[in-house]
Chains A and B, each alone.
Chain A
Amino acid sequence: MCSLSHLGFVELTIFPTVVNLNRIKLNSKQCRIYRVRVNDLEAPFIYNDPTLEVCHHESKQRNLNYFSSAYTAAVSAVDPDAGHGELVIKVPSELWKQGDEMNVLKVYIEFSLDQPKGGLHFVVPDVEGSMAERGAHVFSFGYQNSTRFWFPCVDSYSELCTWKLEFTVDASMVAVSCGDLVETVYTHDMRKKTFHYVLPIPTAASNISLSVGPFEILVEPYMHEVTHFCLPQLLPLLKHSMSYLHEIFEFYEEILTCRYPYSCFKTVFVDEAYVQVSSYASMSIFSTNLLHSAMIIDQTPLTRQCLAQALAQQFFGCFISRMSWADEWVLKGISGYIYGLYLKKTFGVNQYRHWIKEELDKMVEYELKMGGVLLHPTFGGGKDKDNPTPHLHFSIKHPHTLSWKYYKMFQCKAHLVMRLIENRISMEFMLQVFNKLLSLASTASSQKYQSHMWSQMLVSTHSFLKSISNVSGKDIGPLIKQWVDQSAVVKFFGSFAFNRKRNVLELEIRQDYTSSGTQKYVGPIKVTVQELDGSFNHTLQIEENSLKHDIPCHSKSRRNKKKKIPLMNGEEVDMDLSAMDADSPLLWIRIDPDMSILRKVEFEQADFMWQYQLRYERDVVAQEESILALEKFPTPASRLALTDILEQDQCFYKVRQGACFCLAKIANSMMSTWTGPPAMKSLFTRMFCCKSCPNIVKTNTFISFQSYFLQKTMPVAMAQLRDIQNLCPKDVLNFILDLIKYNDNRKNKFSDNYYRAELIDALTNSLTPAISISNEVRTVDNLNGDVRLILEEITRSLNMEKLLPSYRNTITVSCLRAIRMLQKNGHIPSDPSLFKSYAEYGHFVDVRVAALEAVVDYTRGMHRTSPSEVSRTHPIPYVVHKILSMLGKNPPFTKAAESPLCNEALVDQLWKLMNSGTSHDWRLRCDAVNLYYTLFGLTRPSCLPLPELGLVLNLKEKKAVLNPTIKPEQGPDTTEMTGITMGGLITMETVSSVSMSSGVAPPPQGLKRKLDSVVGPLGSSSPEPGQVLQEEDTSKKFKIRFNTVEEDEIDMESPHDSQAFIHHHLNILERPSTPGQHPAVLSLPVTPLPSSFGKESTSSSKHSGDHHHHHHHHEHKKKKKKKHKHKHKHKHESKDKERDSHAFSNSPASGRSARSPSMSD
């Protein structure tokens, strides 16, 4: 086993911009800081992280309103944008007087990070061999600005500085970080090498990242400055997956008429990634699961889209950063918008419009359900009282308090609004604006800090809008006011009548602006009317009181129906007009066809009009709308229209896929009058089966992707058919079983794993609830015949996966879902143990998520497992995030319903999770808050006893002493610390324990040397006018050393060391690290650990008592943990004595003890 840690040194050079700078505030979490020196003088510092534990006093408060405000206050208290930080360094008084001369301050911080829970993620596979052979790697991650988790910095997107980074790693590893790799140098013993990076472009600390691993290196053949990195053995996949990247580069550079801003680009593919794509300055970190071989169809477009997203964020997000959180929407909007342009160019207009509709629908649905999404929140005077979003259970004042889902919708809305702006000012102007932003930024980036140009690299809502008005000369104020400064969407209801006498279309458009998430819209709206003589656009004005609009028709109804009918795109088609109303010339009507309002439209027109729209309107959005509408008209005519669309090759494949499901629904509604074979069966036979033997499907080729997708979808839709007994027709089931049986992929150059998975999904869809005779136990003998066949297929497929695993284990995923469905419908005994075993660490992440989904579903159905039980033992942040969001989506109970699960232990557990258990990951904390909200609502959960009766722990007073101030520090402090940082250098090492003790001393010297060379002539400066910036880093120096230490080799030099080691280990185990304790310089009150541990152990024992019927190993673990705690208590007492002697010393001994590797189970 090895310990996961690193050692680091950070050096910031600060230009003071005010005279009496005596405090410097930096962000730092988790890091253990040993010493801080300012200009070679030891500087006292205070470390205080209020987000570690959000609520202190009210240990029995369980009210989400309270929590949210406390959490927001805690985040504000350390908000770098407001000049706050967890780490407050007192500038030694000797340096105070120099303030007049505005001398440069060099702040040097020595720190270590041991077993980080957030910020850096270590992946160490448990196999034989050296670290490199095992494919062990580490990468930085985080949600928004989270760099403070792995080194002290000003963790803000608006504090730019240049960087020098050094990482010392094992000789078998590669360290990939931001900027240009200048050189790689061996250490003296030749066992390690140091990577020297220089990033001359001013970059915010939040955009700095790192990944280290035994990566395989691929240089992009078309652009040698682009380098790809993947884990061992995956190089062939990397080669294939990256073969399109240059096209994306070319596209962006062309539309932006601007070269890629950095001199190099690196892509790193890592396992257990936090998100699929994350972009940092000149590098992007991707999930390794995006890699695919040439045989895979479905993953290919997804991977390309991820690459395109990453690259778009390189321009807007990394190179151009934001001024403040309120300006985030501009960057997300622009990067999302240009990504959309890429989609349009590469995947076609249909795909693009489909995507826009999908995003719009998703966003509208969220806003209507949860209340509005506000892109540009303004906070009046910093007072919390005027909360712009009272409907939400979290604050949107900081990115770190946002729910993940909200943030996703925020991004969604941002790019949709960008599209609206484009509609208003034209794409040409839009791209000019982008180009202007980029060229200003790149001019600024090459300037020295002293020129005060760097603020051009930050974009704000104001500057963006100003560029727009400068470039286009148009006023988009109303648009911005409606969609950016205001949350919510518009909800339209439309209906019409045709006035034959006047030949006028009387259109009525009503709005719902009273329900949550809606707003009133006033302004133009486009309506497209397809008449017999052509298609006509009308722009109507939506005003306060006008509901009705008269639109004159251009054509008369005609008796002569032979003439061709011109469509919007100029095409002329023959139509069978017999279905339409003989008196009216109207074929179909569309409201806001271009989606130029963020709206939901519910429009009423006759079924034949929807059918015409489906058949003849060429816009995929219109086709999808009509498919949705036709569900309500189960008639033979609808059936015919859908079947025709299914058969049309030219039709967009996603529309055809949608038609499949609609047809299944219609067929079910028409059950009694349905004639002929089950829906789609003959169609499928004609398209995909052999001519000579129609019951056998052709051998797979998948050359035409359109038919491939249709072939995948049709069986799934068919399985939704039901007969009069509400069972899946026997015909259909046998048909699907035959498809599985005769599936033959031997002659195919593509993999059929997705197809086979969908066939399993089809089997799942065909399941209906078992007829249960009383409450008998499900046994093999009373298994229904059809179900037996299905189960046999599933068993065989799942077993075959063990021998021949499919790409991304798609088939296992489908099988797990199928088994859960069998359980749910009562065909087989409901039992989560299978899923629990698949949910264990060591399975492919998709499989784990599918298994966890089943467990979550089981929890809901059976009311037995405690949900958060599941979330405890999973080390991968992504998986925990998934668990929490799945629980939120499919909650075991809600605030409205009574449930045996809703008990005090659960409340406590969840409360603890969000209060202190998730302090290492913003996203997780917000997920936990979300779940708490879903389960218990905003107020105190009803299952809790009254607060007065709650037991108050007697150690509480002690704790109160420690309480960090939650409120942000007052005015004087912030002005005092105004200054500028400069100079930086990071060194990272992966050291084995042998060199550990010797490794401490030399770096400072090396650092000094470097420092001298970096720090040039610096003049005094004052902040830019109009800027709120209080600090500016011009460059930083870091030294971070990685420890990968063999446990056996731990050198216990003294009893003190070993005690400190144990103490430290327990500390890490039980709570997020609490730095500041060890290297205390100020007389910091000691954390009364016994109290908190005592509390934890009681609650967890209570918990295990309540759920003792669960897995034994769970209990076992808990017992183990408790033991640790007792041991710790004991140690702690003896430690307290020692602490007195060590509290004020900066001895290397204390440093070493903290760096000691921890033992792992």
Chain B
Amino acid sequence: MIACNDDEKNDEVTVHFLFLKDDRSRSGCGKATSSPAENYQLARRRTLQVVVSSLLTECGFESAEKATVESLTEMIQSYISEVGRCAKAYCEHTARITPTLSDTVVTLNEMGFNVDTLPGYAKRSQRMVITAPPVTNAPVIPKALIAGQKRTHPSHIPSHFPEFPDPHTYIKTPTFREPVSDYQVVREKAASQRRDVERALTRFMAKTGETQSLFKDDVTAFPLIAERPSSIPYLSALLPSELELQTLEETDSSEQDDQTDSENTPVNNLNDDPGADKENSVLLAGSVVPLVKVSEESMIDNPYLRPVKKPKVRRKK
């Protein structure tokens, strides 16, 4: 598909180019043509002019103004270009890349041309034979930038399928160096990275908050974040930090299944009610904690778990 598009583009570019050239020549800023591509185009154009002239002659004109011939040439060129474009569109619509006869026929019909009249017209008696356009060097299409080797078809793709496009269109282009996977370097990096982060963080905290210093002469050297007495100091000292909990979850994720199993067995054993087993198994899939609580609260007779009595009861006594 991409290849097709390319071709089409080339065509269009070509056509367009022709117009431009014409405009230029018409506006009279004629320059000596130099590029072989232009020469090629001009040669084709000249052939078309010849065709127009011969058709005029055929129709009985003896002479024509140059401008008229130019216009007619322009029209015929547009017409042919349009036929080509449409035919190509039709063919691509049916997932092919080369237009066939039927594409052209449909196109011509679409453009309001009666194709049936074409054979008759071709065999008319007074037609003139025009020599083939002079052979000129085919224009050198400037090569697209090739990046990497084009891939050939793998065996399961028939060779008639279009070629792979340039690798750069579908292969990622590395713009960075490949990461180092050497263990030592990784550890070193991780360590220094962590240290840098910690240092930056603590420096920041020290700069933004109160500090204590170990030196009297230079207070900024080795700043210590000022201690802050907490009203409940044991909480932060005893409870694991969130970071630690996170680590624990990560490392435990694999072992968790075993653990919950072993934790649950005694609870289940305590639970003598066989009917509760079903509930348990259902709950097991969910979370563990509610199960323990449910069974505890329902089974355990502990004075501290009993509801507090209302004072009225006491009065009756």
The reply on A181 being an interface residue by CB < 8 A is: yes
Shortest distance in angstroms between B291's beta carbon and chain A's nearest beta carbon? 12
The reply on A1120 being an interface residue by CB < 8 A is: no
Q: How far is the CA of A294 from the CA of B244 in the complex (A)?
A: 11
- A780 near B218 with CB under 8 A, answer yes
- A135 near B232 with CB under 8 A, answer yes
| Interfacial chain A residues near B303, Cβ < 8 Å | 180-184, 264
Q: How far is the CA of A844 from the CA of B223 in the complex (A)?
A: 22
The reply on A799 being an interface residue by CB < 8 A is: yes
Among A126, A222, A233, A742, point to the contact of B235 (Cβ < 8 A): A233
- A837 near B248 with CB under 8 A, answer no
- A802 near B244 with CB under 8 A, answer no
| Interfacial chain B residues near A795, Cβ < 8 Å | 202, 222-224
Stretch at the interface among B31-39, B142-150, B193-201, B276-284: B193-201
The reply on B13 being an interface residue by CB < 8 A is: no
| Interfacial chain A residues near B304, Cβ < 8 Å | 174, 181, 217, 219, 227
Chain A 214-258 against B: per-residue CB contact (8 Å), 1 yes, 0 no?
A: 000101011011010001011001000000000000000000000
| Interfacial chain A residues near B67, Cβ < 8 Å | none
Given the known interface contacts A222-B266, A224-B301, A227-B302, the answer about A841 and B308 at a Cβ–Cβ threshold of 8 Å is no
Q: How far is the CA of A803 from the CA of B184 in the complex (A)?
A: 29
Chain B 235-275 against A: per-residue CB contact (8 Å), 1 yes, 0 no?
A: 11111110110011011100000000000001100100000
The reply on B212 being an interface residue by CB < 8 A is: yes
Shortest distance in angstroms between B267's beta carbon and chain A's nearest beta carbon? 7
Among A126, A225, A803, A829, point to the contact of B202 (Cβ < 8 A): A803
Given the known interface contacts A747-B251, A796-B202, the answer about A221 and B266 at a Cβ–Cβ threshold of 8 Å is yes
The reply on A777 being an interface residue by CB < 8 A is: yes
- B215 near A780 with CB under 8 A, answer yes
The reply on A746 being an interface residue by CB < 8 A is: yes
Stretch at the interface among A334-342, A351-359, A495-503, A690-698: A690-698
Shortest distance in angstroms between B234's beta carbon and chain A's nearest beta carbon? 5
- B308 near A289 with CB under 8 A, answer no
The reply on A154 being an interface residue by CB < 8 A is: no
| Interfacial chain A residues near B190, Cβ < 8 Å | 744
Among B214, B226, B235, B296, point to the contact of A819 (Cβ < 8 A): B214
Within 8 A of A (CB), among B282-317: 292, 296, 299-306, 308-311, 313-314
Within 8 A of B (CB), among A180-222: 180-188, 190, 193, 217, 219, 221-222
The reply on A314 being an interface residue by CB < 8 A is: no
| Interfacial chain A residues near B310, Cβ < 8 Å | 185-186
Contact size class for A?
35 or more
- B229 near A843 with CB under 8 A, answer yes
- A221 near B205 with CB under 8 A, answer no
- B238 near A184 with CB under 8 A, answer no
- A844 near B234 with CB under 8 A, answer yes
In the complex, residue of chain A having the shortest beta-carbon distance to the beta carbon of B242: A804
Chain B 220-232 against A: per-residue CB contact (8 Å), 1 yes, 0 no?
A: 0111111111111
Q: How far is the CA of A560 from the CA of B313 in the complex (A)?
A: 92
- B227 near A184 with CB under 8 A, answer no
- A834 near B202 with CB under 8 A, answer no
Q: How far is the CA of A805 from the CA of B250 in the complex (A)?
A: 20
On chain B, the number of residues with a Cβ less than 8 Å from chain A's Cβ atoms is: 67
The reply on A808 being an interface residue by CB < 8 A is: yes
The reply on B6 being an interface residue by CB < 8 A is: no
The reply on A954 being an interface residue by CB < 8 A is: no
Given the known interface contacts A182-B303, A233-B239, A780-B215, the answer about A744 and B233 at a Cβ–Cβ threshold of 8 Å is no
- B237 near A219 with CB under 8 A, answer no
| Interfacial chain B residues near A294, Cβ < 8 Å | 248
Given the known interface contacts A778-B215, A779-B217, the answer about A745 and B234 at a Cβ–Cβ threshold of 8 Å is no
- A799 near B205 with CB under 8 A, answer yes
Q: How far is the CA of A174 from the CA of B302 in the complex (A)?
A: 14
- A803 near B201 with CB under 8 A, answer yes
Q: How far is the CA of A188 from the CA of B201 in the complex (A)?
A: 56
The reply on A741 being an interface residue by CB < 8 A is: yes
Shortest distance in angstroms between A818's beta carbon and chain B's nearest beta carbon? 11
Q: How far is the CA of A780 from the CA of B216 in the complex (A)?
A: 9
Q: How far is the CA of A838 from the CA of B227 in the complex (A)?
A: 7
Shortest distance in angstroms between B43's beta carbon and chain A's nearest beta carbon? 72
The reply on B191 being an interface residue by CB < 8 A is: yes
- A744 near B191 with CB under 8 A, answer yes
- A840 near B251 with CB under 8 A, answer no
In the complex, residue of chain B having the shortest beta-carbon distance to the beta carbon of A189: B311
Q: How far is the CA of A750 from the CA of B224 in the complex (A)?
A: 28
- A186 near B311 with CB under 8 A, answer yes
Shortest distance in angstroms between A796's beta carbon and chain B's nearest beta carbon? 6
| Interfacial chain A residues near B229, Cβ < 8 Å | 840-843
In the complex, residue of chain B having the shortest beta-carbon distance to the beta carbon of A197: B303
| Interfacial chain A residues near B301, Cβ < 8 Å | 224
Within 8 A of B (CB), among A246-297: 264, 271, 288-289, 291-295
In the complex, residue of chain A having the shortest beta-carbon distance to the beta carbon of B199: A796
Given the known interface contacts A288-B234, A844-B234, the answer about A696 and B187 at a Cβ–Cβ threshold of 8 Å is yes
| Interfacial chain B residues near A829, Cβ < 8 Å | 214-216
The reply on B188 being an interface residue by CB < 8 A is: yes
Among B184, B188, B267, point to the contact of A692 (Cβ < 8 A): B184
| Interfacial chain B residues near A186, Cβ < 8 Å | 308-311
Q: Which residue of A171, A180, A692 has the most chain B CB atoms within 10 A of its CB atom?
A: A692
| Interfacial chain A residues near B314, Cβ < 8 Å | 185
Within 8 A of B (CB), among A843-877: 843-847
- B202 near A800 with CB under 8 A, answer yes
The reply on B206 being an interface residue by CB < 8 A is: yes
The reply on A807 being an interface residue by CB < 8 A is: yes
The reply on A583 being an interface residue by CB < 8 A is: no
Q: How far is the CA of A183 from the CA of B221 in the complex (A)?
A: 62
6 closest A-B pairs by CB: A842-B229, A799-B202, A693-B184, A181-B303, A844-B237, A780-B221
Can you list 14 A-B pairs with a CB-CB distance of less than 8 A?
A126-B231, A186-B308, A187-B311, A219-B296, A221-B267, A234-B235, A741-B191, A742-B188, A780-B221, A791-B214, A791-B222, A800-B202, A805-B236, A846-B237
| Other 11 A-B pairs with CB < 8 A, given A749-B247, A803-B201, A846-B237 | A174-B304, A183-B303, A217-B305, A224-B299, A224-B301, A293-B240, A295-B244, A744-B191, A749-B251, A837-B212, A838-B227
